[in-house]
Amino acid sequence: MSEQSGPVEVRDRILETASDLFYRQGVRAVGVDLIIAAAGVAKTSLYRHFRTKDDLIAAFLTREDEDFWAVWDRVAAAHAGNAAAELEAHLAWIGERVGRPRYRGCPQLNVAAEFPDEGHPARVVARAHKLELRRRLRGIAERLAVADPDGLAAQLSVMVNGAFVSAQVLAGDDAPAVLTRMAHALVSACGSPPPRPSPAP
């Protein structure tokens, strides 16, 4: 108990509070005054731990990114060696998340919508997050041994991002079921890889 109120605790409280407000109300709609009031800290503390508000926004997305992949990794570990089951499990928890009552879309996509400048520090994080999603989906596609893993990864990326923004239009549907059915269709259509080039069979 040497540092119950050490520098780490305050920084975390600020980031935690800011993340919650940013996600629920939008980044531009939340000012630093609101954040410090909700977190119960002084403005100087916020600016000691985060150089600018833009840095705080980037830290928000980085946090969301880490949390997202933490869940992903946990689910992936539970289905090691079975790519089809792993994909289905991912779509199950993503679909469940999308269907939650207070779900307000993917933070990365929301921030990207709010800030057109691709050089914004938060946009850099968001872009990396989406590329990582596609990279991981491609990994699953490869283990599924389909004909065109890259094409399947692109399709699954579109599907997952679509689920993130379709909460409104999917209201009333069973999101996990929709995603699972879609994935089955896409994987099946992608077929098996062509046989190794060999003398005409």
Partner DNA sequence: CCCTCACGATACAGACCTGTCTGTTTGAAT
Partner DNA sequence: ATTCAAACAGACAGGTCTGTATCGTGAGGG
Rg of the chain over CA atoms, in angstroms?
A: 20
**Contact letters for DNA, residues 48-67 (x by CB under 7 A):** xx--xxx-------------
Alpha helices, H only, 40-146: 43-49, 53-78, 83-98, 107-114, 121-143
Please give the Cα distance from 70 to 147 (Å, whole number). 30
Contact between 154 and its own copies by CB under 8 A: the answer reads yes
List the single partner that 100 binds among its own copies, DNA, none, CB under 5 to 8 Å by kind: none
Is the Cβ of residue 87 or residue 190 nearer to its own copies in the bound state?
190
Q: Is 169 exposed, middle or buried (0-12, 13-18, 19+ CB in 10 A)?
A: exposed
Q: How far is the CB of 119 from DNA (least distance, A)?
A: 15
Which residues are at the interface with its own copies (CB under 8 A)?
24-26, 28-29, 104-105, 109-110, 112-116, 126-127, 130-131, 133-134, 151, 154-155, 157-166, 168-170, 173, 178-179, 181-182, 184-186, 188-190
